[in-house]
Amino acid sequence: MRLTLALAGALIALPAAAHETTAPLGGEEPLEHKHTADEIWDHFLPQAEASADITVDGNTRRIRANGYPDKAPGQFPNRNNPHAISKKNYNLKVPLNPRKTGGAKDAQGSVFGIAVNGVVMDPGTAEYWQNNRRSGWNYEALGGACKLGLDKYNAHVQPDGTYHYHGIPTGVVAASGGRSVPAMIGFAADGFPIYGQYGYSDPERKSSMKKLKSSYRIKNGNRPDGPGGSYNGKFTQDWAFVEGAGDLDQCNGRFAITPEYPNGTYHYVLTDAFPFIPRCWMGNPDASFTRLKGRGQRRGNLEEGQGSPTIDFAVFQDNTEIAAQVIQVQGGHPPRVRRGGPPPQRGQRGPRQQRGGQGGGQGGRSPCSGS
């Protein structure tokens, strides 16, 4: 009976920083006490077995999951990620009929959404230049500078055992198709669906499939402070939104028809280029998601400059010149080094560093060495 239920959970799931904070995720329900017989049974069950249940309750979509992928993950711990996967007990909810608020809300540093297999999507890292969060220069997980022990599904493990995606969850996309029709692979915290990188070329009708492109581009020129050097995509702040440069808006979304929504819906798209997983929401994220990380963090509209350090939402006149109007979201504490000032010296003290790259601590050491 138990095996049947476990397999049913995996089947239902399909259609329906490493080094982030060491604090346990909130928004989880306590696991029930297990009997010895249950523990013995779990020993024989493969750890990769997903347990995800997505149901509709009135105007709410409820997502209960244990955080395991439905395909065997990479080896954890590994050389660049010292953490082991542990079972979670997510009890999340999103609106069944989400609505856009008219402005984007910052999702940097938050759990953006959850895949249909019950694994969360957490694109940002807590890795900063010289381990100094106040520097304002945040390493990208897929930017090429960090070795964070990602497996072939673009996922790794937090210090508290949370397995999570930093990019396209290739295993989920493969299970859902992906190139012949748009593949729905999860839900964002605000309730809008999340799709893979292929969509209809004509968003208003079934048409040929195309690879959808992000509208973010690497800035031109050199970084004014911090690590210095030319912008190259290794840091989140190396990127800016270029309206019309791709197929997607600043939250990596668009309105289009899909197999699940024949009349069309706004939805997010995961891409193989920055931002990979969106860094903002167009609707209101449910508190069950925002409580997962950063208790007490302020979240606000991007235009209001609240939230954690994030990307520049800018408009390029072309790929070599930034237009005069630039909306920069820094949030939190201002950078210690102002524009044009000297970079911090080696050994400069920043916020207290926690094990696993919490993002502060003694400067002068790369946070991407795989602690």
Which pLDDT belongs to residue 170?
87
Question: Rounded to an integer, what distance in angstroms lies between the CA atom of residue 271 and that of residue 269?
Answer: 6
Which pLDDT belongs to residue 147?
87
- Judge whether residue 30 has pLDDT over 50: no
Planar angle of CA 283, 125, 145, nearest 5 degrees: 130
- Residue 83 is classified by DSSP as -
pLDDT in tens, 68-94: 988 889 999 999 999 999 989 999 999
Which pLDDT belongs to residue 24?
41
Task: State the maximum Cα–Cα separation within the chain, in Å, rounded to a whole number.
Answer: 66
Which pLDDT belongs to residue 47?
46
pTM of this structure? 0.74
- Judge whether residue 237 has pLDDT over 90: yes
Quick one: which H or E segment has residue 241? strand 239-241
Which pLDDT belongs to residue 146?
85
- Calculate the average pLDDT of the chain: 75
Which pLDDT belongs to residue 225?
94
Question: Rounded to an integer, what distance in angstroms lies between the CA atom of residue 233 and that of residue 249?
Answer: 19
For the ranges 169-173, 258-262, 304-308, the maximum mean pLDDT occurs at 258-262
Compute CA distances 203 → 74, 100, 196, 247, 327, whole Å. Answer: 36, 18, 14, 10, 29
Distance between the two ends of the chain, CA-based, in angstroms? 42
pLDDT in tens, 309-348: 445 554 333 333 332 222 222 233 322 322 333 333 333 3
Question: Rounded to an integer, what distance in angstroms lies between the CA atom of residue 72 and that of residue 70?
Answer: 7
Question: Rounded to an integer, what distance in angstroms lies between the CA atom of residue 109 and that of residue 26?
Answer: 14
Worst-scoring range by mean pLDDT, 130-144, 247-261, 266-280, 357-371? 357-371
Which pLDDT belongs to residue 295?
43
How many Cβ atoms are within 10 Å of 45's Cβ, its own excluded?
A: 12
Question: Rounded to an integer, what distance in angstroms lies between the CA atom of residue 332 and that of residue 330?
Answer: 7
pLDDT in tens, 274-296: 999 999 999 999 999 988 875 43
pLDDT in tens, 134-173: 999 999 999 989 889 999 999 999 999 999 999 999 888 8
- Judge whether residue 214 has pLDDT over 90: yes
Q: Which two tokens stand for residue 165?
A: 């995606």
The string of DSSP letters for 298-340 reads: ---BGGGT-SSS--EEEEEEETTEEEEEEEE---SSPPSS-TT
